[in-house]
Chain A
């Protein structure tokens, strides 16, 4: 296998980032690393979602899977003392089972498009209600915390939050795993099968593609990735709440970020994570520091970022359906092609 040039340059750079941050922002090292870690963990979750999204399976239910990942792991740790090394696989299995239970009837009955989105939306809400309802264990809508083990850095408890540099490398490894899965699927025959099925299910079945099975496979992988991402996110934040890691806001955030970044290119979800995380930080800081904004909008100012998200989502879907990275790559490709295939304007009457 030939290693692409971008990886040869990119990997050392990514490994050296904590050092660079230390020199560049000695006063705010923790803050910038925090931002990067958030971007990497969410990129992984977004990449997991895009595996389904790119084949026309627009799920609004992935907030359920991140939630299951986080809550199952934390509850097992807090109440049964089971290490996340076992808790995470259990959480992944639970989320795969849920994904298959919802996916099987959907794919069997050929529920696609809007109906699939609505059904998965209901799943998100169902999981959120379960979390809130089981408030004695989950802390309800206030959320809960994984019990800290020792000084907070432990291999046994898979806790690393106090050490930001370590957290960065954990997040980086997770992100790389996501890209690897994406790349493997992109080169597999399953990708062709799913591409075909998303365009014409009957024709796909008649060339020998088991459409239901292929869709279940990708759904399971996607749900597993989101569960893993949710669990790691919980370990890094050391806090889980139905709004930060489960629920509709997470689902929508995932969809928005991937659409913004680009659904059909490997680094699209990553670009989407950079875009949304930076945007939300900028908005947060602006709102916090601006007395004028707070005066005009009152307490509604807190919802301002959600409003801007909504607006941007509409603009992206209309003007940039391929996302930021998808559109940029397409432009570059066109530029490279132009000299080879000169436009033949005017030769046809």
Chain B
């Protein structure tokens, strides 16, 4: 579904990604793990076009992403749930969802998808008139995921969904991710919370200072001594 090969990217003179190649197949949940500053967020920003890649190729179902402007990426079926949720804080929950269905193809199916999202996350239905900025952290994450689903994506990019949340809520957020997987969405998730994310992913890539260091099934990586030592504190 998603194919990256030899992607370079950076900020100004600083290169953050070096020749990253990866694939995500339809129906998979793929995790990208790594420490702070490894380039995980950069990778997702490159895929969703917010940061232009400087070299390499990137396709979504055969469509070149590097040739697609940022606001058109979503029409290829990729929805990005950015780091730190990035809701529109002064809009109501429902208006956030409405904007999630901004692209013309999604607007027609707005009512249908809204019903679906409210069924998936009943809490959001209760809070629909509330300003998004006044939701709790877990609810904001829920709203951010729901907003992404409103565009009817095939692939959902999740950037650190557990960031800044209390441990109890983190478990709930991973449960949300499991639920959207269950609905048939393909998921590419970036996380520092290695132990938890390897439980819900099928495969994972390990990113270290901008380079892919390892890849394999989630179970393999979770069993690897090196990763257990460096990222799980065991």
A residues apposed to B, CB below 8 Å? 189, 192-193, 195-196, 199-200, 202-211
Q: Contact: A208 with B72, CB < 8 Å?
A: yes
CB of B67 closer than 8 Å to a CB of A = no
Establish whether residues A200 and B88, one from each chain, have CB atoms under 8 Å apart when the complex forms: yes
Most B CB within 10 A of own CB, among A206, A209, A210: A206
Contacts of B87 in A (CB 8 A): 200, 203
B50 contacts which of A193, A196, A205 (Cβ < 8 Å)? A205
Cβ 8 A contact of A196, one of B69, B91, B103, B107: B91
Chain B interface residue number, banded: 20 to 34
**B56 adjacent to chain A (CB < 8 Å):** no
- Cβ B88 vs Cβ A208 within 8 A: no
Inter-chain contact B82/A195, CB cutoff 8 Å = no
Report yes or no: A207 in contact with B82, Cβ–Cβ below 8 A. Answer: no
B147 at the interface (CB under 8 A from A): yes
- A192 and B95 within 8 A (CB): yes
- In whole angstroms, how far apart are the Cα atoms of A273 and B106 in the complex? 41
Contacts of B49 in A (CB 8 A): 205
Chain B residue nearest in CB terms to A192: B99
Identity of the chain A residue whose Cβ is nearest the Cβ of B148 in the assembled complex: A207
Complex Cα–Cα for A211 and B69 (A): 11
Does B86 contact A202, Cβ atoms closer than 8 Å? Answer: yes
Interface residues of B in 77-129 (CB under 8 A from A): 79-80, 82, 86-91, 95, 98-100, 102-103, 106-107
Residues of B within 8 A of A192 (CB): 91, 95, 98-99, 102
Q: Which residue of A lies closest to B80 (CB)?
A: A206
Q: Is the CB of B98 within 8 A of A207?
A: no
Measured in the bound complex, the distance between the Cα atoms of B85 and A203 in whole Å is 9
CA A208 to CA B106, docked complex, whole Å: 10
Question: Measured between C-beta atoms, what is the minimum distance from B147 to chain A in Å?
Answer: 7
Given contacts A202-B82, A207-B74, 6 further A-B contacts (CB under 8 A): A193-B102, A204-B88, A205-B71, A207-B100, A208-B75, A211-B71
Check if B151 is an interface residue, CB within 8 A of chain A.
yes
Q: How many A-B residue pairs have C-beta atoms within 8 angstroms? Tell me.
A: 68
In the complex, the chain B residue whose C-beta lies closest to that of A210 is B71
Q: Which 3 A-B pairs have the closest CB atoms?
A: A203-B86, A208-B74, A208-B103
Query: At the interface, yes or no: B48 with Cβ under 8 Å from chain A?
Result: yes
- Given the interface pairs A192-B95, A209-B102, A210-B71, the reply to whether A203 lies near B90 with Cβ below 8 Å is no
When the two chains form their complex, are residues B102 and A208 in contact, meaning their CB atoms are under 8 A apart?
yes
Within the assembled complex, what's the spacing in Å between the Cα atoms of A196 and B147? 13
When chains A and B are docked, how far (Å) is the Cα of A196 from the Cα of B48? 18
Question: How far is B69's CA from A195's CA once the two chains are assembled, in angstroms?
Answer: 21
Complex contacts, B10 vs chain A, CB 8 Å: none
Contact of A206 among B82, B90, B107 (CB under 8 A): B82
Bound state CA distance, A209 and B49, in angstroms?
13
CB distance from A326 to the nearest CB of B (A): 14
Closest residue of chain A to B69 (Cβ to Cβ) is A210
How far in angstroms is the closest Cβ of chain B from A205?
Answer: 5
Judge whether B70 is part of the interface by a CB distance below 8 angstroms.
yes
Complex: chain A residue closest to B105, CB-CB:
A208
Taking CB atoms, residues of chain A closer than 8 Å to B148 are 207
Task: Pick 22 A–B contacts, CB within 8 A, sort by A.
Answer: A189-B102, A189-B107, A192-B95, A192-B98, A192-B102, A195-B91, A196-B88, A202-B82, A202-B86, A203-B87, A204-B88, A204-B99, A206-B48, A206-B70, A206-B80, A207-B151, A208-B72, A208-B73, A208-B75, A208-B103, A209-B71, A209-B99
B80–A193 contact, CB under 8 A?
Answer: no
Q: How far is the CA of A196 from the CA of B82 in the complex (A)?
A: 15
Q: How far is the CA of A203 from the CA of B49 in the complex (A)?
A: 12
In the assembled complex, the CB of B132 is this many whole angstroms from the nearest CB of chain A, namely: 9
How far, in angstroms, from A195 to B74 measured CA to CA in the complex?
19
CA distance A44 to B74 in the complex (A): 38
Does B80 lie within 8 Å of A196, measured CB to CB? no
- B86/A193 in contact, CB under 8 A: no
- Please provide the chain B residues from 113 to 167 with a CB less than 8 Å away from any CB of chain A in the complex: 147-148, 151
Given A206-B80, A206-B82, A199-B90 contact (CB < 8 Å): yes
A205, A207, A210, A211 — most chain B CB neighbours (10 Å): A207
Closest A residue to B87 using CB positions: A203
For the complex formed, measure the closest distance between the CB of B134 and the CB atoms of chain A, giving whole angstroms.
Answer: 14
Q: Which B residues touch A211, using CB under 8 A?
A: 71
Judge whether A200 and B86 touch: CB under 8 Å: yes
Do residues A196 and B71 form an inter-chain contact, with CB atoms below 8 A? no
CB contacts (< 8 Å) of B88 on chain A: these are 195-196, 199-200, 203-204
> Which of chain B's residues have a CB closer than 8 A to the CB of A199?
88-91
How distant is the Cα of A193 from the Cα of B148 in the complex, in angstroms?
15
